[in-house]
Amino acid sequence: MGLFSKDIQSFEDLFMHGLQDLYYAENQILKALPDMIEKAPSAELRAGFEKHRKETEGHVHRLRQVFELLDSEPKGDKCPAIDGILKEGKDLMGEIEGDDVMNVGLIAAAQAVEHYEITRYGALIAWATELGRTDVVPHFKANLAEEKATDQKLTAMAEKRFNPRAESKTERPKAKSTARRKPARAASRPAKGKRAPAKKTRRRA
């Protein structure tokens, strides 16, 4: 679609453009993930990226099913947004030294991708519903659920192991009680309701 050609002339055109945009994005992410898996120093992070690579293959498959339901050939429309996000992540990996910093940087780069996908799938769900194409909505929702789950796992890993601030947190000391203690009763004070025994007096001879 050209910059000044105004190819999007209807809501249906906008929906198809969004679908092609996301199809291109998922395929580019699928190509980028092996490099992220290789660069990740943490075994837990590598396993997370490997799992998401398999999920992304499923995302591409579901989008192809959407194209079939729409009687359209699967086609990707070049997306400058995802290209820029992936390029930024790749450039960042080439500048980082040290395993801990690399882990944190990779998580940030991966979450930038996830947040983009989450917003795009949300828009496609809304547009498909508006157009009455509820038959394709479950495919979008399935992909969206996995994108959100991946983002949550990345956040958990960052807070658990790779975020320096999270690691430096210490427990707060318990607050001292401000309640006043009741003064103890004097031992010589007689109990309520009882009289003190009378003192004995000596008789004079």
Q: CA 194 to CA 41: how far, in whole Å? A: 80
User: Average of pLDDT values for 134-150?
Assistant: 97
Instruction: Give 9's pLDDT tier (boundaries 50, 70, 90).
Output: confident
Residue 54: pLDDT over 60:
yes
Residue 149: pLDDT over 90:
yes
pLDDT at 119 (0 to 100): 96
Residue 29: pLDDT over 90:
yes
Q: CA 145 to CA 28: how far, in whole Å? A: 20
Q: Which domains does the chain have, with CATH numbers?
A: 11-167 (1.20.1260.10)
pTM of the model: 0.74
Of the candidates 28, 41, 50, the residue with the CA atom closest to the CA atom of residue 106: 41
Collect all residues with Cβ–Cβ distance below 8 Å to 63 and sequence separation of at least 6. 19, 22, 23, 26, 74, 139, 143
Q: Give pLDDT tens digits for 59-88.
A: 999 999 999 999 999 999 899 999 999 999
pLDDT at 142 (0 to 100): 98
Query: What mean pLDDT value characterizes the chain?
Result: 83
